[in-house]
Structure 1
């Protein structure tokens, strides 16, 4: 069976275990059904997720021009504290930025090999946590817009990591008695004074169940360096496909790549 098309990040369904679907242009492929099967991938081109051009992908699925021009790749995507839509000030496209930034946001704690802090729109829970490969996650604040959430995250980053160590996440090592509620109580004192009213104890900790077992070694496979790859699919965690022998492909890192997939 053969497919071809542009890679987008996998669509997920929070179940036990989590169900994964590979987006390959017009095809949506249930990856859980392919465990134990040999997959062959061949990188044959690029397709920018914004303009559709056959340009080398620069970052986040965008060609270089779109990365620096599209509102969907603006700096506030990475650094929410820079958001200005709540002031009526646009960075690249105010209407688009308002649709993203002027929505309820969650500041959360997640365990991805270490406890980290993060920000996402409320509508992206639990998708955001699944994409990061979080074993546990717990909201600690709910804000009215992206700027407010970003300011809380900036304060939290002085005490907690804000990025996922992908190797530690894939090592899948954690304490059974880990309780993020304890961390939530401890970090309350680090909230900026003007943002303490957003602190929340209302949410319960969520545990996520991945179709995955950690291998003895972890090797990253990049389609730029290895444009043809084949292996037996063993599991998935976050946006990483796990293959026999400890080889991993980060699907999110290959957004905008055009591939041929043979099963």
Structure 2
């Protein structure tokens, strides 16, 4: 059986374990059902997620031209502290920026390779944690806009990490942490503008991923260079497909690639 479509990040369902779905234009695949099956992934062409043209992907699933023009790829996406919609100030498209920035945002702690701080829209909890491969997470602050979340994250980054080591995450070399204690420890570093939004009483969220076997030495698949790969799927964590031979494929990191996916029967 073969499917073909443009890659976007896998959709997820917060169950135990997490359910993963690869969604194409006219079809979708429950990836959990492919565990222990041999699949072939083949690169077909590019398809920018904005303009739809067959142009090399630059970043985030967009071709170079689109990446530097559209509001979905502006700097404030990766650096929330640069948000300006709360000031009625446009970056690339004020209407879009108000829609995204002027809604509840959460600053959180997540433990995937180690404890890190992050920001996401409230509506993206727990999806954001799933995408990062976190096995536990907790909210620290819930604020009314992206700017306040951004400056809080910047302040906390001086005292806790903000990056995930993808190899450690995929090898499952993680240590359980008491995130409630971490939250209390970091409380004093929250900026004055966000102190009133501190979440006093909540508990950790725990996540379980569908993995039969974790890779000992994960090696990343570059589908553009290899054009085709065949392997037995042994797990899914974060946005990575994990294969029996230690190969891992970052679905989100390959957004904008049109692929053919063949499942051996």
With normalisation by structure 2, the TM-score equals: 0.97
Partner of 2:179: 180
In structure 2, how many angstroms separate the alpha carbons of the residues matched to 1:12 and 1:194? 34
Q: Kindly indicate whether the alpha-carbon contact (under 8 Å) linking 2:113 and 2:165 is maintained by their aligned counterparts in 1.
A: yes
Aligned residues: 262
Alpha-carbon displacement from aligned partner over 1:96-127 (angstroms, at most 9, x marks no partner)? 01110000000000001110000000000000
- 1:145 equivalent to 2:172? Answer no
Maintained 8 Å contact 2:148/2:193: no
Q: Which residue of 1 aligns with 2:247?
A: 247
CA distance in 1, matches of 2:161, 2:26: 37
Gaps spanning 5+ residues in structure 2: where?
A: none
| Partner residue, 1:197 | 196
- Using the TM superposition, give the Cα deviation of residue 42 of structure 1 relative to its aligned residue in structure 2, in angstroms: 0.8
Q: Secondary structure at the match of 1:48?
A: coil
Question: How far apart are residue 194 of structure 1 and its match?
Answer: 2.8
State the alpha-carbon separation in 2 of the partners of residues 251 and 259 from structure 1: 11
User: How do 1:44-193 and structure 2 match up within 5 A?
Assistant: 44-176=44-176, 178-193=177-192
Q: Give yes or no for contact 1:9–1:251 (8 Å, CA) kept in 2.
A: yes
d(CA) in 2 for partners of 1:71 and 1:44?
28
CA–CA separation in structure 1 for the residues paired with 2:69 and 2:179: 38
* SS at structure 2 position matched to 1:224: helix
Report if aligned partners of 1:217, 1:245 keep a CA contact under 8 Å in 2. Answer: no
Q: Are 2:197 and 1:207 aligned?
A: no
Alpha carbons 1:5, 1:25 under 8 Å: kept: yes
Quick one: distance in 2 between partners of 1:174 and 1:259?
Answer: 32
How far apart in 2 are the matches of 1:89 and 1:255?
30
Q: What are the equivalent positions in structure 2 for 1:229-240 lying under 5 Å apart?
A: 229-240=229-240
Measured in 2, the distance between the counterparts of 1:80 and 1:220 equals 29
Gaps of 5+ in 1: none
Q: 1:173, CA displacement in angstroms?
A: 2.1
Is the CA contact 2:114–2:175 (under 8 Å) kept in the aligned structure 1? Answer: no
Q: Structure 1 CA distance, aligned partners of 2:25 and 2:173?
A: 35
SS of the equivalent of 2:225 reads coil
8 Å Cα contact 1:105/1:145 also seen in 2: yes
State how far apart, in whole Å, the 2-side matches of 1:253 and 1:112 are: 18
Asked if the contact 2:108/2:140 (under 8 Å) is kept, the reply is yes
Query: What TM-score do you get using the length of structure 1 for normalisation?
Result: 0.97
Q: Does 1:30 align with 2:30?
A: yes
The runs of 4+ residues in structure 1 deviating greater than 4 Å are none
